[in-house]
Amino acid sequence: MDEKLAKECLCPMCPSYVKCDEPIAYCIPEVHTSKCIKWESGCACPVCPVFDKLKLDREYYCLR
Ligand code: SF4
Ligand code: SF4
């Protein structure tokens, strides 16, 4: 996993985030969806620096 991208990940500050023993930066292909996050309560991806860097266009990578 790209540790540098994971450090910039805003997931821990997101209202949907649930602390879990798993890698964050769910948008990175090798990181899968979360086994702990279950509900969409807002997503911080669009304001995350990684979002622009990887040219992302979706939200809720932790769920889908
Ligand atoms: S992918 Fe989006 S909704 Fe899921 S934890 Fe990260 S910022 Fe929150
Ligand atoms: S775009 Fe979303 S999942 Fe990806 S690093 Fe940023 S906050 Fe985390």
Q: Are 60 and 41 in contact (CB under 8 A)?
A: no
- Would you put residue 30 in left (φ > 0), alpha (ψ -120 to 50) or beta? alpha
* Ligand 1 binding pocket includes 50 (Cβ within 6 Å): no
Ligand 1 centroid to residue 11 C-alpha, Å: 5
**Structure token digits, residue 12:** 């821990």
Instruction: Output the pLDDT for position 1.
Output: 67
Q: Are 35 and 53 in contact (CB under 8 A)?
A: no
- Prediction pTM value: 0.94
pLDDT (tens digit per residue) in 16-37: 999 999 999 999 999 999 999 9
User: Rounded to an integer, what distance in angstroms lies between the CA atom of residue 35 and that of residue 38?
Assistant: 8
